[in-house]
Structure 1
Amino acid sequence: MDQSQFRLVIPSQTRYLNLVTGLAKRASLVAGLDDATAAKVSIAVDEAVTNVIIHAYGGEGEHSVELELRFTAEALEIHIWHSGRGIRGDQMVLPDPKEYIKHPRKGGLGLLLMSRFMDEVQFKADEVSGRNECCLIKKIS
């Protein structure tokens, strides 16, 4: 199988989000996705990395977030690793959009957007290394 990949490591600071989202959008276009889909992938990556910075690291900027983009014939995979507090797949509770509209609040839509914009969203923990992973997959149609 033909596969190429590359990695980027950024500090856990929101000022680097534009770099990450721009990269995600360009990678999506390189993978063969259309512009609208590339924009959605970019939003999903923004939400995932923002969640790592704010929730996993509690806003502490001296940690790192590692991204790996993998291009295959079938999909674009974006793996995001961190060593902060993790979320497990069985802990992922998506808000009901209708309830959210009735009772709006700041935040809370990141997981919903990620799950709607990507074909797969997976959360894993590596007990040996102590790192957590969020994997976002967008299939190439």
Structure 2
Amino acid sequence: MDHAQFKLVIPSQTRYLNLVTGLAKRASLVAGLDDAAAAKVSIAVDEAVTNVILHAYHGEGEHTVELELRFTEQALEIHILHSGQGIRSDQMVLPDPKEYIKHPRKGGLGLLLMSRFMDEVQFKADEASGRNECCLIKKIS
């Protein structure tokens, strides 16, 4: 398969999440993942885009979230780009699942799901453009 890629730009509103998760699931299947893996990719993308809408944009709906899907022989890459408040990899603290169950708190679980369901989760900031990116990578076995 050649290195296909395409983009989707949505308003920063949670009502568009089902479009994004549907796309992530279909893209996973096209990339060659099975149903279970595709469902996990869909959940990870849902968490990542929800985080952008609620945290990077603080729920303000007039911004945009851009998704770029890249298919390679080795992996499906989903790049989520925005111009809201970013998170750096060194700020990302994953909760311990056992502790989380004992002492549930708000936040952190989405990052844990993303890191569990994807092979790689990267956060990058482009100082020049003022855009932030969350890159989710799922290897194709």
In the alignment, structure 1 segments of 5+ residues that lack a partner are none
Residue-by-residue CA offset, 1:54-104 (whole Å, 9 max, x unaligned):
000000000000000000000000000000000001111000111110012
What is the deviation of 1:106?
4.1
Q: 1:1-141, aligned counterparts within 5 Å? A: 2-141=2-141
Partner Cα separation in structure 1 for residue 135 and residue 112 of structure 2: 15
- Percent identical among aligned pairs is 91
Instruction: Name the SS of the counterpart of 1:19 in structure 2.
Output: helix
Instruction: Name the SS of the counterpart of 2:84 in structure 1.
Output: coil
Instruction: Name the SS of the counterpart of 2:132 in structure 1.
Output: strand
Partner Cα separation in structure 1 for residue 122 and residue 100 of structure 2: 23
Mapped contact 2:93–2:108 kept (Cα < 8 A):
no
Partner Cα separation in structure 1 for residue 86 and residue 105 of structure 2: 23
Partner Cα separation in structure 1 for residue 99 and residue 9 of structure 2: 37
Instruction: Name the SS of the counterpart of 1:10 in structure 2.
Output: strand
Partner Cα separation in structure 1 for residue 108 and residue 140 of structure 2: 28
* Number of equivalenced pairs: 141
If the length of structure 2 is used for normalisation, what is the TM-score?
0.98
Instruction: Name the SS of the counterpart of 1:104 in structure 2.
Output: coil
Partner Cα separation in structure 2 for residue 35 and residue 140 of structure 1: 13
Mapped contact 2:122–2:136 kept (Cα < 8 A):
yes
